[in-house]
Chain A
Amino acid sequence: MKTLSLKNLQKTYFDPYAGSQVTAVHDVSLDVEQGEFVSVVGPSGCGKTTILNMIAGFIPYSGGEILLDGIAVNGPGPDRGVVFQSFALFPWKTVLDNVSFGPKIRGVPKAERDRIAREYLELAGLSHAADRYPNELSGGMQQRVGVVRALANNPAVLLMDEPFASVDAQTRMTLQEELTRIWQQRKPTVIFITHDVPEAVFLANRVVVLSKGRVLDQIKVDLPRPRVWDDLMQDETFKRLSSQVLQMVRSA
Protein backbone atom coordinates (compact mmCIF):
# COMPACT_ATOMS: atom_id res chain seq x y z
CA MET A 1 0.00 0.00 0.00
CA LYS A 2 1.52 3.28 -0.97
CA THR A 3 1.69 5.88 1.74
CA LEU A 4 3.64 8.78 0.26
CA SER A 5 3.38 9.94 -3.31
CA LEU A 6 5.05 12.81 -5.09
CA LYS A 7 3.36 13.84 -8.34
CA ASN A 8 5.20 16.03 -10.84
CA LEU A 9 6.77 17.88 -7.97
CA GLN A 10 8.47 21.12 -8.89
CA LYS A 11 10.35 23.80 -7.01
CA THR A 12 11.58 27.15 -8.24
CA TYR A 13 13.58 29.38 -5.93
CA PHE A 14 13.59 33.10 -6.39
CA ASP A 15 16.97 34.70 -5.92
CA PRO A 16 16.31 38.31 -4.80
CA TYR A 17 19.94 39.36 -5.41
CA ALA A 18 20.22 38.08 -8.94
CA GLY A 19 16.54 38.87 -9.49
CA SER A 20 16.25 35.54 -11.28
CA GLN A 21 14.65 32.17 -10.71
CA VAL A 22 16.45 28.90 -10.07
CA THR A 23 14.61 25.66 -10.70
CA ALA A 24 15.97 23.17 -8.20
CA VAL A 25 13.38 20.46 -8.80
CA HIS A 26 12.01 20.13 -12.32
CA ASP A 27 9.64 17.19 -12.29
CA VAL A 28 9.79 14.46 -9.69
CA SER A 29 7.24 11.69 -9.30
CA LEU A 30 7.75 8.98 -6.74
CA ASP A 31 5.58 6.51 -4.84
CA VAL A 32 6.72 5.10 -1.53
CA GLU A 33 5.16 1.95 -0.07
CA GLN A 34 4.19 1.61 3.54
CA GLY A 35 7.19 0.21 5.44
CA GLU A 36 9.60 0.77 2.57
CA PHE A 37 13.13 2.09 3.00
CA VAL A 38 14.00 4.35 0.07
CA SER A 39 17.47 5.86 -0.34
CA VAL A 40 17.86 8.93 -2.52
CA VAL A 41 21.26 9.67 -4.04
CA GLY A 42 22.52 12.13 -6.61
CA PRO A 43 25.26 14.66 -7.20
CA SER A 44 25.51 17.78 -5.08
CA GLY A 45 22.91 20.38 -6.01
CA CYS A 46 20.55 17.95 -7.74
CA GLY A 47 17.71 18.90 -5.38
CA LYS A 48 17.76 16.18 -2.70
CA THR A 49 17.48 18.53 0.27
CA THR A 50 14.90 20.62 -1.52
CA ILE A 51 12.67 17.60 -2.07
CA LEU A 52 13.03 16.45 1.52
CA ASN A 53 12.26 19.93 2.86
CA MET A 54 9.12 20.07 0.74
CA ILE A 55 7.95 16.70 2.03
CA ALA A 56 8.70 17.83 5.58
CA GLY A 57 6.70 20.99 4.88
CA PHE A 58 9.57 23.34 5.69
CA ILE A 59 9.36 25.03 2.30
CA PRO A 60 6.39 25.38 -0.06
CA TYR A 61 6.43 23.69 -3.45
CA SER A 62 5.91 25.53 -6.72
CA GLY A 63 4.12 22.81 -8.69
CA GLY A 64 2.76 19.29 -8.53
CA GLU A 65 1.68 17.70 -5.28
CA ILE A 66 2.75 15.71 -2.28
CA LEU A 67 0.19 13.28 -0.88
CA LEU A 68 0.55 11.47 2.40
CA ASP A 69 -2.06 8.74 2.73
CA GLY A 70 -4.05 10.64 0.11
CA ILE A 71 -3.94 14.01 1.85
CA ALA A 72 -1.95 16.94 0.47
CA VAL A 73 0.99 18.00 2.62
CA ASN A 74 0.84 21.56 3.86
CA GLY A 75 3.46 22.71 6.39
CA PRO A 76 5.36 20.62 8.92
CA GLY A 77 3.53 18.05 11.01
CA PRO A 78 4.04 15.11 13.35
CA ASP A 79 3.08 12.61 10.63
CA ARG A 80 6.48 13.29 9.03
CA GLY A 81 9.37 12.75 11.42
CA VAL A 82 12.66 14.38 10.49
CA VAL A 83 16.23 13.43 11.40
CA PHE A 84 18.63 16.29 10.78
CA GLN A 85 22.27 16.27 9.76
CA SER A 86 22.82 18.84 12.52
CA PHE A 87 21.07 16.46 15.00
CA ALA A 88 18.90 19.40 16.15
CA LEU A 89 18.53 18.11 19.69
CA PHE A 90 17.20 20.60 22.23
CA PRO A 91 20.33 21.47 24.25
CA TRP A 92 18.31 22.54 27.31
CA LYS A 93 16.46 19.25 27.55
CA THR A 94 17.81 15.95 28.80
CA VAL A 95 18.00 13.03 26.40
CA LEU A 96 14.81 11.61 27.93
CA ASP A 97 12.96 14.91 27.53
CA ASN A 98 14.17 15.22 23.96
CA VAL A 99 12.78 11.82 23.08
CA SER A 100 9.51 12.35 24.93
CA PHE A 101 8.99 15.78 23.33
CA GLY A 102 6.70 14.52 20.55
CA PRO A 103 4.40 12.60 22.91
CA LYS A 104 4.44 15.61 25.25
CA ILE A 105 3.17 17.86 22.48
CA ARG A 106 0.45 15.29 21.77
CA GLY A 107 -0.62 15.57 25.40
CA VAL A 108 0.51 12.14 26.56
CA PRO A 109 0.76 12.18 30.40
CA LYS A 110 4.25 12.37 31.89
CA ALA A 111 4.53 8.80 33.19
CA GLU A 112 3.35 7.34 29.91
CA ARG A 113 5.56 9.47 27.67
CA ASP A 114 8.61 8.74 29.82
CA ARG A 115 7.86 5.04 29.46
CA ILE A 116 7.66 5.42 25.67
CA ALA A 117 10.89 7.42 25.59
CA ARG A 118 12.74 4.85 27.74
CA GLU A 119 11.55 2.05 25.50
CA TYR A 120 12.97 3.82 22.43
CA LEU A 121 16.20 4.72 24.20
CA GLU A 122 16.61 1.07 25.03
CA LEU A 123 16.09 0.24 21.36
CA ALA A 124 19.07 2.48 20.54
CA GLY A 125 21.16 1.23 23.44
CA LEU A 126 20.99 4.59 25.18
CA SER A 127 19.22 3.77 28.43
CA HIS A 128 22.23 4.84 30.47
CA ALA A 129 22.23 8.33 28.90
CA ALA A 130 18.60 9.22 29.63
CA ASP A 131 19.38 11.94 32.16
CA ARG A 132 22.30 13.51 30.34
CA TYR A 133 22.25 16.65 28.23
CA PRO A 134 22.98 16.43 24.49
CA ASN A 135 26.28 18.32 24.71
CA GLU A 136 27.55 15.62 27.05
CA LEU A 137 27.18 12.97 24.33
CA SER A 138 29.36 12.01 21.37
CA GLY A 139 28.13 12.84 17.88
CA GLY A 140 27.14 9.23 17.26
CA MET A 141 25.10 9.09 20.44
CA GLN A 142 23.46 12.43 19.65
CA GLN A 143 22.28 11.15 16.30
CA ARG A 144 20.96 7.96 17.89
CA VAL A 145 18.87 10.24 20.07
CA GLY A 146 17.82 12.18 16.96
CA VAL A 147 16.61 8.99 15.30
CA VAL A 148 14.65 7.64 18.25
CA ARG A 149 13.20 11.07 19.03
CA ALA A 150 11.63 11.04 15.57
CA LEU A 151 10.57 7.37 15.87
CA ALA A 152 9.04 7.79 19.33
CA ASN A 153 6.47 10.10 17.79
CA ASN A 154 5.30 7.30 15.50
CA PRO A 155 5.40 9.22 12.19
CA ALA A 156 3.91 7.84 8.99
CA VAL A 157 7.21 8.63 7.24
CA LEU A 158 10.70 9.17 8.58
CA LEU A 159 12.71 11.72 6.60
CA MET A 160 16.49 11.71 6.92
CA ASP A 161 18.84 14.16 5.17
CA GLU A 162 22.41 12.90 5.33
CA PRO A 163 21.97 12.09 9.01
CA PHE A 164 25.31 10.31 9.40
CA ALA A 165 27.42 12.70 7.32
CA SER A 166 29.00 14.42 10.30
CA VAL A 167 30.15 11.40 12.32
CA ASP A 168 33.40 9.47 11.82
CA ALA A 169 33.55 6.46 9.49
CA GLN A 170 33.56 3.79 12.20
CA THR A 171 30.62 5.29 14.06
CA ARG A 172 28.79 5.74 10.79
CA MET A 173 28.99 2.01 10.04
CA THR A 174 27.67 1.18 13.49
CA LEU A 175 24.84 3.66 13.09
CA GLN A 176 23.95 2.19 9.70
CA GLU A 177 23.79 -1.32 11.16
CA GLU A 178 21.68 -0.10 14.05
CA LEU A 179 19.33 1.72 11.71
CA THR A 180 18.72 -1.42 9.62
CA ARG A 181 18.13 -3.39 12.82
CA ILE A 182 15.65 -0.81 14.15
CA TRP A 183 13.97 -0.61 10.76
CA GLN A 184 13.51 -4.37 10.72
CA GLN A 185 11.95 -4.31 14.18
CA ARG A 186 9.62 -1.34 13.63
CA LYS A 187 9.23 -1.19 9.86
CA PRO A 188 8.86 2.58 9.57
CA THR A 189 8.57 4.12 6.10
CA VAL A 190 11.88 5.89 5.49
CA ILE A 191 13.25 8.33 2.95
CA PHE A 192 16.97 8.50 3.41
CA ILE A 193 19.08 11.06 1.58
CA THR A 194 22.80 10.55 1.21
CA HIS A 195 25.89 11.23 -0.85
CA ASP A 196 27.32 7.89 0.08
CA VAL A 197 26.41 5.20 -2.46
CA PRO A 198 27.39 2.13 -0.37
CA GLU A 199 25.38 3.61 2.50
CA ALA A 200 22.35 4.03 0.24
CA VAL A 201 22.54 0.43 -0.98
CA PHE A 202 23.31 -1.01 2.44
CA LEU A 203 20.19 0.52 4.01
CA ALA A 204 17.54 0.52 1.32
CA ASN A 205 14.91 -1.61 -0.35
CA ARG A 206 15.15 0.76 -3.25
CA VAL A 207 17.64 3.38 -4.37
CA VAL A 208 16.43 6.42 -6.31
CA VAL A 209 19.00 8.32 -8.34
CA LEU A 210 18.34 12.00 -8.96
CA SER A 211 19.90 14.23 -11.55
CA LYS A 212 19.32 17.93 -12.08
CA GLY A 213 15.96 17.94 -10.39
CA ARG A 214 14.65 14.78 -12.07
CA VAL A 215 14.53 11.08 -11.24
CA LEU A 216 17.23 9.52 -13.39
CA ASP A 217 16.69 5.89 -12.42
CA GLN A 218 15.70 3.55 -9.63
CA ILE A 219 17.10 0.24 -8.53
CA LYS A 220 15.66 -2.45 -6.24
CA VAL A 221 17.89 -3.82 -3.51
CA ASP A 222 16.91 -7.37 -2.58
CA LEU A 223 19.77 -8.12 -0.25
CA PRO A 224 18.80 -10.35 2.68
CA ARG A 225 18.43 -8.91 6.17
CA PRO A 226 19.71 -8.47 8.78
CA ARG A 227 22.48 -6.63 7.00
CA VAL A 228 25.88 -6.25 8.62
CA TRP A 229 28.99 -4.78 7.04
CA ASP A 230 31.17 -7.81 7.78
CA ASP A 231 28.99 -9.90 5.46
CA LEU A 232 28.02 -7.34 2.85
CA MET A 233 31.46 -5.92 2.25
CA GLN A 234 32.42 -9.20 0.52
CA ASP A 235 28.99 -9.84 -0.99
CA GLU A 236 28.98 -9.99 -4.80
CA THR A 237 25.41 -8.71 -5.18
CA PHE A 238 26.13 -5.77 -2.87
CA LYS A 239 29.26 -4.88 -4.82
CA ARG A 240 27.46 -5.16 -8.14
CA LEU A 241 24.53 -3.00 -7.00
CA SER A 242 26.83 -0.41 -5.51
CA SER A 243 28.90 -0.03 -8.64
CA GLN A 244 25.73 0.12 -10.72
CA VAL A 245 24.38 2.99 -8.62
CA LEU A 246 27.75 4.69 -8.59
CA GLN A 247 27.84 4.63 -12.38
CA MET A 248 24.38 6.20 -12.56
CA VAL A 249 25.37 8.94 -10.13
CA ARG A 250 28.54 9.65 -12.05
CA SER A 251 26.70 9.83 -15.35
CA ALA A 252 24.06 12.07 -13.79
Chain B
Amino acid sequence: MNLVLKSWGAYVRATKRWPIIATIVPFIPVVALWSVVANSGMFPRAFFPAPVDVARTFFALMYKGILPDYLQDSLIRLLTGAAIGVVLGIPLGLLIGSSKWAHRACWPILLFFQAIGDIAWLPILLIWFGFGLTTMTFVIVYTVLFPIVLNTVLGVESVHRDLARAAQSLGASRMRVLWEVTLPGALPNIITGLRNGLGYGWRALIAVEIIVGTSGIGFMMFDARRAGSTVEIILGMIVLGILWYIVDAWILAPIERATGQRWGLVTSS
Protein backbone atom coordinates (compact mmCIF):
# COMPACT_ATOMS: atom_id res chain seq x y z
CA MET B 1 0.00 0.00 0.00
CA ASN B 2 2.77 2.34 1.05
CA LEU B 3 4.64 1.57 -2.15
CA VAL B 4 1.56 2.39 -4.23
CA LEU B 5 1.16 5.74 -2.51
CA LYS B 6 4.83 6.49 -2.90
CA SER B 7 4.93 5.73 -6.59
CA TRP B 8 1.71 7.69 -7.10
CA GLY B 9 3.35 10.65 -5.38
CA ALA B 10 6.40 10.29 -7.59
CA TYR B 11 4.15 10.16 -10.68
CA VAL B 12 2.28 13.32 -9.67
CA ARG B 13 5.54 15.15 -9.04
CA ALA B 14 7.00 13.96 -12.33
CA THR B 15 3.93 15.14 -14.30
CA LYS B 16 4.20 18.53 -12.61
CA ARG B 17 7.78 18.75 -13.83
CA TRP B 18 7.20 17.29 -17.31
CA PRO B 19 3.49 17.64 -18.22
CA ILE B 20 4.02 15.55 -21.35
CA ILE B 21 4.28 12.46 -19.15
CA ALA B 22 0.64 12.93 -18.11
CA THR B 23 -0.28 12.93 -21.80
CA ILE B 24 1.68 9.84 -22.76
CA VAL B 25 1.13 7.52 -19.80
CA PRO B 26 -2.61 6.91 -20.38
CA PHE B 27 -1.75 5.60 -23.86
CA ILE B 28 0.60 2.89 -22.56
CA PRO B 29 -2.17 0.40 -21.71
CA VAL B 30 -3.98 1.24 -24.98
CA VAL B 31 -0.93 0.54 -27.10
CA ALA B 32 -0.10 -2.54 -25.01
CA LEU B 33 -3.57 -3.98 -25.53
CA TRP B 34 -3.38 -3.21 -29.23
CA SER B 35 -0.02 -4.95 -29.37
CA VAL B 36 -1.30 -8.03 -27.57
CA VAL B 37 -4.32 -8.37 -29.85
CA ALA B 38 -2.22 -7.86 -32.99
CA ASN B 39 0.33 -10.43 -31.89
CA SER B 40 -2.21 -13.00 -30.71
CA GLY B 41 -2.74 -14.28 -34.22
CA MET B 42 -6.45 -13.59 -34.00
CA PHE B 43 -6.29 -11.58 -37.24
CA PRO B 44 -3.81 -11.62 -40.13
CA ARG B 45 -1.20 -8.88 -39.63
CA ALA B 46 -2.01 -7.28 -42.98
CA PHE B 47 -5.59 -6.88 -41.77
CA PHE B 48 -4.80 -5.73 -38.23
CA PRO B 49 -1.20 -4.44 -37.99
CA ALA B 50 0.73 -4.11 -34.75
CA PRO B 51 2.14 -0.86 -33.28
CA VAL B 52 5.65 -1.79 -34.47
CA ASP B 53 4.43 -2.10 -38.07
CA VAL B 54 2.90 1.35 -37.89
CA ALA B 55 6.04 2.80 -36.32
CA ARG B 56 8.16 1.24 -39.07
CA THR B 57 5.91 2.72 -41.77
CA PHE B 58 6.06 6.06 -40.01
CA PHE B 59 9.84 6.17 -40.23
CA ALA B 60 9.82 4.92 -43.82
CA LEU B 61 7.36 7.61 -44.94
CA MET B 62 9.22 10.27 -42.99
CA TYR B 63 12.44 9.19 -44.63
CA LYS B 64 10.92 9.28 -48.11
CA GLY B 65 9.53 12.71 -47.32
CA ILE B 66 5.95 11.76 -48.21
CA LEU B 67 4.53 12.24 -44.73
CA PRO B 68 6.14 15.67 -44.13
CA ASP B 69 4.89 16.84 -47.56
CA TYR B 70 1.35 15.65 -46.98
CA LEU B 71 1.33 17.06 -43.48
CA GLN B 72 2.48 20.41 -44.78
CA ASP B 73 -0.22 20.40 -47.49
CA SER B 74 -2.95 19.65 -44.96
CA LEU B 75 -1.76 22.25 -42.47
CA ILE B 76 -1.42 24.97 -45.09
CA ARG B 77 -4.95 24.29 -46.32
CA LEU B 78 -6.27 24.43 -42.76
CA LEU B 79 -4.43 27.64 -41.95
CA THR B 80 -5.50 29.36 -45.18
CA GLY B 81 -9.11 28.44 -44.51
CA ALA B 82 -8.85 29.49 -40.88
CA ALA B 83 -7.26 32.83 -41.78
CA ILE B 84 -10.03 33.64 -44.25
CA GLY B 85 -12.60 32.46 -41.70
CA VAL B 86 -11.16 34.78 -39.04
CA VAL B 87 -10.97 37.76 -41.38
CA LEU B 88 -14.62 37.29 -42.37
CA GLY B 89 -15.99 35.92 -39.12
CA ILE B 90 -14.81 38.38 -36.48
CA PRO B 91 -16.11 41.56 -38.18
CA LEU B 92 -19.35 39.79 -39.03
CA GLY B 93 -19.73 38.62 -35.44
CA LEU B 94 -18.97 42.09 -34.11
CA LEU B 95 -21.56 43.60 -36.41
CA ILE B 96 -24.28 41.09 -35.59
CA GLY B 97 -23.47 41.25 -31.89
CA SER B 98 -23.54 45.00 -31.58
CA SER B 99 -26.39 45.94 -33.90
CA LYS B 100 -29.92 44.93 -33.09
CA TRP B 101 -30.88 45.31 -36.75
CA ALA B 102 -28.00 43.27 -38.07
CA HIS B 103 -28.86 40.63 -35.50
CA ARG B 104 -32.48 40.47 -36.57
CA ALA B 105 -31.54 40.34 -40.24
CA CYS B 106 -28.69 37.85 -40.08
CA TRP B 107 -29.33 35.47 -37.21
CA PRO B 108 -31.95 33.20 -38.86
CA ILE B 109 -29.89 33.07 -42.05
CA LEU B 110 -26.83 32.16 -40.04
CA LEU B 111 -28.60 29.32 -38.26
CA PHE B 112 -30.01 28.06 -41.56
CA PHE B 113 -26.61 27.84 -43.20
CA GLN B 114 -25.02 26.41 -40.10
CA ALA B 115 -27.48 23.55 -40.28
CA ILE B 116 -26.22 22.62 -43.74
CA GLY B 117 -23.13 20.73 -42.69
CA ASP B 118 -19.88 21.44 -44.47
CA ILE B 119 -19.81 18.12 -46.31
CA ALA B 120 -23.35 18.63 -47.55
CA TRP B 121 -21.95 21.40 -49.74
CA LEU B 122 -19.60 19.06 -51.56
CA PRO B 123 -21.91 17.84 -54.32
CA ILE B 124 -22.73 21.35 -55.50
CA LEU B 125 -19.19 22.61 -54.95
CA LEU B 126 -17.78 19.80 -57.07
CA ILE B 127 -20.03 20.85 -59.91
CA TRP B 128 -19.21 24.53 -59.50
CA PHE B 129 -15.50 24.41 -58.74
CA GLY B 130 -14.42 20.86 -59.57
CA PHE B 131 -11.95 18.69 -57.69
CA GLY B 132 -9.48 21.23 -56.46
CA LEU B 133 -8.20 23.77 -54.02
CA THR B 134 -11.18 26.13 -54.36
CA THR B 135 -13.57 23.43 -53.23
CA MET B 136 -11.36 22.46 -50.32
CA THR B 137 -10.84 26.04 -49.19
CA PHE B 138 -14.55 26.78 -49.43
CA VAL B 139 -15.39 23.87 -47.16
CA ILE B 140 -12.74 24.80 -44.59
CA VAL B 141 -13.75 28.46 -44.53
CA TYR B 142 -17.38 27.44 -44.24
CA THR B 143 -16.62 25.13 -41.32
CA VAL B 144 -14.39 27.57 -39.48
CA LEU B 145 -16.65 30.56 -40.05
CA PHE B 146 -19.72 29.56 -38.03
CA PRO B 147 -18.12 28.80 -34.68
CA ILE B 148 -16.18 32.06 -34.96
CA VAL B 149 -19.21 34.18 -35.87
CA LEU B 150 -21.51 32.59 -33.30
CA ASN B 151 -18.95 32.81 -30.50
CA THR B 152 -18.03 36.37 -31.40
CA VAL B 153 -21.70 37.34 -31.18
CA LEU B 154 -21.92 35.59 -27.80
CA GLY B 155 -18.79 37.41 -26.70
CA VAL B 156 -20.10 40.80 -27.74
CA GLU B 157 -23.37 40.16 -25.95
CA SER B 158 -21.53 39.08 -22.81
CA VAL B 159 -19.77 42.44 -22.51
CA HIS B 160 -21.52 44.33 -19.71
CA ARG B 161 -23.48 47.31 -21.03
CA ASP B 162 -21.95 49.54 -18.36
CA LEU B 163 -18.48 49.00 -19.86
CA ALA B 164 -19.50 50.54 -23.17
CA ARG B 165 -21.31 53.31 -21.32
CA ALA B 166 -18.28 53.99 -19.15
CA ALA B 167 -16.08 54.30 -22.24
CA GLN B 168 -18.58 56.63 -23.92
CA SER B 169 -18.76 58.80 -20.81
CA LEU B 170 -14.99 59.05 -20.92
CA GLY B 171 -15.27 60.42 -24.43
CA ALA B 172 -14.94 57.34 -26.63
CA SER B 173 -16.65 57.37 -30.03
CA ARG B 174 -18.57 54.32 -31.26
CA MET B 175 -15.57 53.08 -33.24
CA ARG B 176 -13.37 53.60 -30.23
CA VAL B 177 -15.80 51.67 -28.03
CA LEU B 178 -15.74 48.82 -30.53
CA TRP B 179 -11.96 48.72 -30.48
CA GLU B 180 -11.32 49.39 -26.78
CA VAL B 181 -14.27 47.62 -25.18
CA THR B 182 -16.26 45.31 -27.45
CA LEU B 183 -13.34 43.54 -29.08
CA PRO B 184 -11.25 42.87 -25.94
CA GLY B 185 -14.42 41.97 -24.02
CA ALA B 186 -15.38 39.43 -26.66
CA LEU B 187 -11.86 38.10 -27.12
CA PRO B 188 -12.08 35.06 -24.82
CA ASN B 189 -15.19 33.93 -26.68
CA ILE B 190 -13.60 34.68 -30.03
CA ILE B 191 -10.67 32.45 -29.13
CA THR B 192 -13.05 29.71 -28.02
CA GLY B 193 -14.76 30.06 -31.40
CA LEU B 194 -11.46 29.85 -33.19
CA ARG B 195 -10.50 26.78 -31.20
CA ASN B 196 -13.77 25.02 -32.03
CA GLY B 197 -13.60 26.21 -35.63
CA LEU B 198 -10.11 24.86 -36.15
CA GLY B 199 -11.19 21.55 -34.60
CA TYR B 200 -14.15 21.20 -36.95
CA GLY B 201 -12.10 22.52 -39.85
CA TRP B 202 -9.42 19.93 -39.29
CA ARG B 203 -11.96 17.11 -39.41
CA ALA B 204 -13.70 18.59 -42.44
CA LEU B 205 -10.36 18.94 -44.20
CA ILE B 206 -9.59 15.25 -43.82
CA ALA B 207 -13.03 14.36 -45.15
CA VAL B 208 -12.58 16.66 -48.13
CA GLU B 209 -9.10 15.37 -48.86
CA ILE B 210 -10.48 11.87 -48.93
CA ILE B 211 -12.98 12.88 -51.57
CA VAL B 212 -11.26 15.55 -53.67
CA GLY B 213 -7.65 15.46 -52.54
CA THR B 214 -4.50 14.74 -54.51
CA SER B 215 -2.30 15.14 -51.45
CA GLY B 216 -2.61 15.55 -47.70
CA ILE B 217 -3.17 13.23 -44.78
CA GLY B 218 -6.75 12.44 -45.77
CA PHE B 219 -5.62 11.60 -49.28
CA MET B 220 -2.84 9.41 -47.93
CA MET B 221 -5.33 7.39 -45.93
CA PHE B 222 -7.77 6.95 -48.77
CA ASP B 223 -5.00 6.13 -51.21
CA ALA B 224 -3.76 3.50 -48.77
CA ARG B 225 -7.20 1.93 -48.77
CA ARG B 226 -6.94 1.47 -52.52
CA ALA B 227 -3.65 -0.32 -51.99
CA GLY B 228 -5.10 -2.22 -49.05
CA SER B 229 -2.43 -0.86 -46.74
CA THR B 230 -3.97 -0.91 -43.27
CA VAL B 231 -0.69 0.24 -41.76
CA GLU B 232 -0.81 3.57 -43.58
CA ILE B 233 -4.47 4.10 -42.77
CA ILE B 234 -3.85 3.59 -39.08
CA LEU B 235 -0.75 5.74 -39.25
CA GLY B 236 -2.85 8.53 -40.77
CA MET B 237 -5.39 8.24 -37.98
CA ILE B 238 -2.69 8.42 -35.33
CA VAL B 239 -1.04 11.42 -36.98
CA LEU B 240 -4.41 13.21 -37.00
CA GLY B 241 -4.92 12.61 -33.32
CA ILE B 242 -1.43 13.60 -32.26
CA LEU B 243 -1.31 16.68 -34.41
CA TRP B 244 -4.61 17.96 -33.16
CA TYR B 245 -3.65 17.24 -29.59
CA ILE B 246 -0.50 19.31 -30.00
CA VAL B 247 -2.30 22.23 -31.61
CA ASP B 248 -5.16 22.22 -29.13
CA ALA B 249 -3.51 21.39 -25.82
CA TRP B 250 -0.25 23.22 -26.32
CA ILE B 251 -1.29 26.25 -28.35
CA LEU B 252 -5.01 27.00 -28.35
CA ALA B 253 -6.05 26.02 -24.84
CA PRO B 254 -3.25 28.01 -23.16
CA ILE B 255 -4.13 31.12 -25.19
CA GLU B 256 -7.78 30.72 -24.28
CA ARG B 257 -6.93 30.36 -20.61
CA ALA B 258 -4.47 33.23 -20.64
CA THR B 259 -6.90 35.84 -21.98
CA GLY B 260 -9.83 34.77 -19.87
CA GLN B 261 -8.13 34.15 -16.55
CA ARG B 262 -5.81 37.11 -16.53
CA TRP B 263 -8.75 39.46 -16.81
CA GLY B 264 -11.00 37.49 -14.52
CA LEU B 265 -13.50 37.08 -17.34
CA VAL B 266 -13.85 33.35 -16.86
CA THR B 267 -14.43 33.14 -13.13
CA SER B 268 -16.48 36.32 -12.60
CA SER B 269 -18.96 37.77 -15.01
A88 B172 Cβ-Cβ under 8 A:
no
Question: Of B165, B184, B262, which one neighbours A88 at CB under 8 angstroms?
Answer: B165
B162 A92 Cβ-Cβ under 8 A:
no
- Among A79-87, A117-125, A211-219, which stretch is in contact with chain B? A79-87
Q: Is A250 an interface position by the 8 A CB rule?
A: no
Report the separation of the CA atoms of residues A162 and B172 in the bound assembly, to the nearest whole angstrom.
24
Q: Is B264 an interface position by the 8 A CB rule?
A: yes
Q: Is A105 an interface position by the 8 A CB rule?
A: yes
Give the residues in chain B near A133, CB-CB below 8 Å. Answer: 262-264
Give the residues in chain B near A75, CB-CB below 8 Å. Answer: 168
Report the separation of the CA atoms of residues A136 and B170 in the bound assembly, to the nearest whole angstrom.
23
Report the separation of the CA atoms of residues A136 and B167 in the bound assembly, to the nearest whole angstrom.
21
B263 A84 Cβ-Cβ under 8 A:
no
Give the residues in chain B near A57, CB-CB below 8 Å. Answer: 168-169
* Most B C-beta atoms less than 10 A away, residue of A82, A106, A134: A82
Which residues of A (132-160) have their CB < 8 Å from a CB of B?
133-136, 149-150, 153
B262 A101 Cβ-Cβ under 8 A:
no
Report the separation of the CA atoms of residues A134 and B268 in the bound assembly, to the nearest whole angstrom.
11
A82 B165 Cβ-Cβ under 8 A:
yes
Which residues of A (72-109) have their CB < 8 Å from a CB of B?
75-78, 80-82, 84, 86, 88-92, 101-102, 105-106
Give the residues in chain B near A84, CB-CB below 8 Å. Answer: 162, 165-166
Q: Is B176 an interface position by the 8 A CB rule?
A: yes
Report the separation of the CA atoms of residues A69 and B87 in the bound assembly, to the nearest whole angstrom.
45
The answer to whether A101 and B264 touch (CB under 8 A), given A56-B165, A58-B165, is no
Give the residues in chain A near B166, CB-CB below 8 Å. Answer: 82, 84, 88-90, 149
B160 A88 Cβ-Cβ under 8 A:
yes
**How far does the Cβ of B267 sit from chain A's closest Cβ, in whole Å?**
8
Question: Of A76, A89, A135, A136, which one neighbours B169 at CB under 8 angstroms?
Answer: A76
A105 B163 Cβ-Cβ under 8 A:
no
**How far does the Cβ of B209 sit from chain A's closest Cβ, in whole Å?**
39
Give the residues in chain A near B123, CB-CB below 8 Å. Answer: none
CB-nearest residue of chain A to B171: A78
Question: Of B176, B184, B187, B263, which one neighbours A105 at CB under 8 angstroms?
Answer: B176
Give the residues in chain A near B184, CB-CB below 8 Å. Answer: 90, 92
Taking beta carbons and an 8 Å cutoff, which residues of B are in contact with A?
A: 160, 162-163, 165-172, 176, 180-181, 184-185, 187, 262-265, 267-268
Closest 7 CB pairs of A and B: A135-B264, A78-B171, A76-B168, A88-B162, A102-B170, A91-B263, A88-B166
